[in-house]
Structures are given as C-alpha cells and as structure tokens.
Amino acid sequence: MAAGSLVPSLGARAWWIVAGNGIRQLGLGMTYPFLIVYLHQVRGFSLAAAGGILGVMSLAGLFTLPAAGSLIDAAGAGPALVLSLWVSALGTAGFIWVRTPWQALVTAAADGAGSSAMWSALNTALARSAAGGDRSGAFAVNYALGNLGLGIGSLLAGLVVNLARPGSFAVIFYGDAATSLLFAGLLLAAGETRRYEPGGGAPGSAWTGTWNYLAVLRDRVLLAATAVNSLLVTGGIAQLSVAFPAWATGPAHTGPRVVGLAFAANCFAIVASQLFVARWLRGRRRTGATALAAVVFAVSWVGVLVAGSRPPGGAAAWLIGALALFGFGETFMAPSLPALINDVAPEALRGRYNAVFNLAWQVGPVIGPVLTGMAFAGHAARALLLGLAGAQLAAAGLTRVMAIWVPEGVDRGLIPPA
C-alpha cells in the first residue's frame, strides 16, 4: 500500500464487511437515541424501569460473551456473525410488541446478547479479512463508516418519530431489524459462512478446547489492553450518553437541542478525520496513539466541566466543542487497540481474544449510568467529571506500561498480520 494513500488498501472481503456494518449501524442509529423515550413515553414504563431494561441489554451481552468467543473459534466468525445478527434483529423487532416490563426484559436480553456477540464476531472477521494487509486501516474504515451510519440513522429517525403517533416508532424498529438482516444476507451472499479459517471454523472440525479460556487469560498484553479499554469505555465513551446529557441539561443550563448538536459534531469529527488520522498513524506506535486518545478524552471532560461555569451561549459552544474533540480522540483509539489485540492473538484463539477485549463494552454501559446517577443524586456532578478525566489519564498511563510488553513490530503494525 502506498504510504501516502488516504484510503487503506483493503481487499474485497474487508470492504464487504465494513460496508455491511455501516448499513447495520444506520439501523442502530435509528433506535439507540430513542429507545428509552419509547419505553417511557410510549409504553408508559417509569424512567427507573426503562433504565433497568437498558441495563439488562448490557448484562445479557456480558453473560453471552464467553460463549460467543468460543463459538467463533469453533464454528468460525462468519456463522457466528450471521447468527448474532439474526438474534439481534429478533430482539429489536420485538420491542414493537412490548406491553409489559417482563416482555421488554426478554426482548432486551435477546437484543443485547445478539449485539454483544456481533461485535466480537465482527472484529474477528474483519481482522481475518485483513490478514497480510493493513489491519489498522480496516478498523479505521470500519469505525468511520459505522459512525457515518449512526449519524444518518439518527437524523432519519428524528424526522420519522413523533410522540403523537406511537406507530411511528414501529418504523424505526423495523428499520433497525431490517439492517441486521441485510448485513446477514450480504455475509451469506459473500460466502462468509462457508469460509475456512485456520484454527477453527472448518466445517465439521472438532470443538475440543474451544471453551477453555485459560490460555487467553495468561496473556498479559490482552489483560492490560482490556483494562485500558475498560477505563476508556466506562469513564469515557459510555458516559457520553449518560453524564454528558445530564450535565448539559442540568448544571450547564442548556437544552436537548445543544445535546443533539454536540453528538452531531462528534460524529462529524470522526467521519471527517478518521482516514487522515489513520494515515498519519501508519508506522507509529499503537500504544502511543491509544495513550494520546485517552489524554484527548480527559481534556474533553475538562471542557464539559468548564461549560458549567459559562453563560448558556458560551456553555453551548464549550459542550459542542468538547464532544467534537472527543470524537477526534476516538479516531486515534479505533485503529489502534483492536488491531493490536488481533495482531497478538493466536489464530485459534482469536474469537476468545476479541470476546475478552470487548467485555469493556458490556461492563461500561452497566457501571456508567450507576456512577452518574449516584453522583448527580449526591450533588457531586463536578467531582464525577473530574473523576472521568482522571480515569482517562490513568488509562494513558497504563497504556504506556503495556507498551513495554508489546513487540515493537506489532506495536507499529509493521509485521504483516497473520
């Protein structure tokens, strides 16, 4: 690949996967911002019940991950990805018929389990599609297209949903489910479920040992990367949908419109800068890029904190700017940590490596809302934001320690991915 090329040189298989995920994220963007609104204002659940239902989605994903990782290594990433998309589509569409909390809990569990397994299978399939090529570039393109899909989906849903017309919510849930089924169809058409993958995934291969995580948990690079990812997610990305809107519409004295503009700025920053950042990072240390992302996250939270001491007009500018800066930081993390983990993962254990690494994306959305709720209830919102910034700086420090254990060729992405 030419060093100066902006768009990474990916094979047809990788482009097929990232395009499908972009479509899938468009569907997620339609429902994610409006799910709690639907449960509370359309189905009449209390905010506490609606929040608990969302928590069940993450808990279901958390308990599903170990089995998902083993399934990926035993049956292959393609079959696991298609199955997870089917389960997620079933759960998403199920919200349309929810009338009681227990129905919502079952539906949320299915959606959460499918979505959680999907991410581990997707990362594994994407890593394998870039074998011998630009793995960091593949993850960068996937992140950019995924955020583009999220932004477009949110915009479309905002034009469709109307609280005065509860049936309008069925449109976005059907749309979300349809994108999952479309992604699964693309994978089937591309032969992803029939692809032989060394170390697991050969049709009829023995499943012996694929449920054993002992070898995985002995890798200190994986454990350190998972700890870093947990700090970045729990104290960073997961709080964007919890602490940020609570602060913006509370102590910062702005409204939902500013929150929407800030999230739009976040998506725009990612889409506009991801490929440029990925090109700049080629040959540079992935651990250094991750540490830089953590520092940018910390500065962003300080910016959010400062907004609370500004007049409404100034506060809006600070909040929008802070989330745009946060998005810029995400572009350093996206092509770095996931690619590094997949470069150190043995082929036969790749699914389980991704499952362990992705634990943070299930733990963060459970712990994050609890921390925020306790802090705001105890009038400690400012302390929370400072704590979030501190957690990001801790992640930066831990990343520098992890760098000692990562071979330089892997850290710089100079060794062709296996």
pTM attached to this predicted model = 0.86
Average pLDDT, the chain: 88
Report pLDDT digits (tens) over 346-367: 988 999 999 999 998 888 888 8
Check residue 176 and give its pLDDT.
Answer: 96
Instruction: Decide: 33 and 267 in contact? Cβ < 8 Å.
Output: no
DSSP 351-394: HHHHHHHTTHHHHHHHHHHHHHHHHHHTT-HHHHHHHHHHHHHH
H/E segment holding residue 339? helix 337-344
Name which of 114, 119, 147, 109 is nearest 22 in CA terms: 147
Check residue 199 and give its pLDDT.
Answer: 52
Check residue 120 and give its pLDDT.
Answer: 93
pLDDT at 342 over 50: yes
Check residue 203 and give its pLDDT.
Answer: 43
pLDDT at 370 over 60: yes
Check residue 204 and give its pLDDT.
Answer: 43
Report pLDDT digits (tens) over 206-242: 444 566 788 889 999 999 999 999 999 999 998 988 8
Check residue 4 and give its pLDDT.
Answer: 65
Check residue 312 and give its pLDDT.
Answer: 78
Q: Which is more confidently placed, 384 or 3?
A: 384
- Residue 165's pLDDT band, with cuts at 50, 70 and 90, is confident
Report pLDDT digits (tens) over 94-112: 999 999 999 999 999 999 9
Q: Which is more confidently placed, 52 or 303?
A: 303
C-alpha–C-alpha distance, residues 235 and 246, integer Å: 15
Domains and CATH numbers, the chain: 11-197 (1.20.1250.20), 218-418 (1.20.1250.20)
Report pLDDT digits (tens) over 181-211: 999 999 999 888 876 565 544 444 444 456 6
- Residue 286's pLDDT band, with cuts at 50, 70 and 90, is very high
DSSP 34-101: GHHHIIIIIS---HHHHHHHHHHHHHHHHHHHHHHHHHHHHH-HHHHHHHHHHHHHHHHHHGGG--SH
C-alpha–C-alpha distance, residues 378 and 255, integer Å: 22
Check residue 36 and give its pLDDT.
Answer: 80
Name which of 357, 378, 366, 295 is nearest 330 in CA terms: 295
